Amino acid sequence: MTALTSDRSTPYRQGEQVSDPLAAGAVIYAGGMYALDGDGNAVRATAAGNAVRAVAQVRAVQADGDERVDGSRGVWRFGNAAGAAELTRADIGSVAYVVDDQTVGKTGTAVAGLVFDIEGDEVWIDIGAASVVVNASAGAAA
């Protein structure tokens, strides 16, 4: 493509609502974080998986004939990890990592999003609102 030489009607969407194809055999529960596998299909978020794509709005079970999962991006509240992986108020603005599809922590490899707030034993995570770049050696958001 070349640079514009006249006005352009550019399509826009907010990007909060997404719909993704389910991976074979996938079960994704409403309210759970999900990621995309190497083929771009939705799978439950796991500590060993890919970055979180969205939060499922309804349960989607591939074996029940569901072909897609509807998800939303935004700020969501999840359980906090325990022990050394527990997030604290000092971690607000830092990257949170997936522990499982309903829990986040301070360490890991699968990015859940940015810590937005801490409320008791739960953590508000900003999923997908902004691109998260991770400095692997420091584990901090750039």
Q: Is the pLDDT of residue 138 over 50?
A: no
- Rg (C-alpha) for the chain, rounded Å, is 17
Distance CA 126, CA 132 (A): 10
> Percent of the chain having pLDDT more than 70?
90
Structure-token match 């995570």, residue found: 125
Distance CA 86, CA 90 (A): 11
Hey, how many other C-beta atoms are within 10 angstroms of the C-beta on 138?
A: 9
* Chain mean position to CA 132: 11
Chain segment 20-75, per-residue pLDDT in tens: 999 999 999 999 999 999 999 999 999 999 999 999 999 999 887 789 999 999 99
Phi, psi of 13 (to 5 degrees): -145, 150
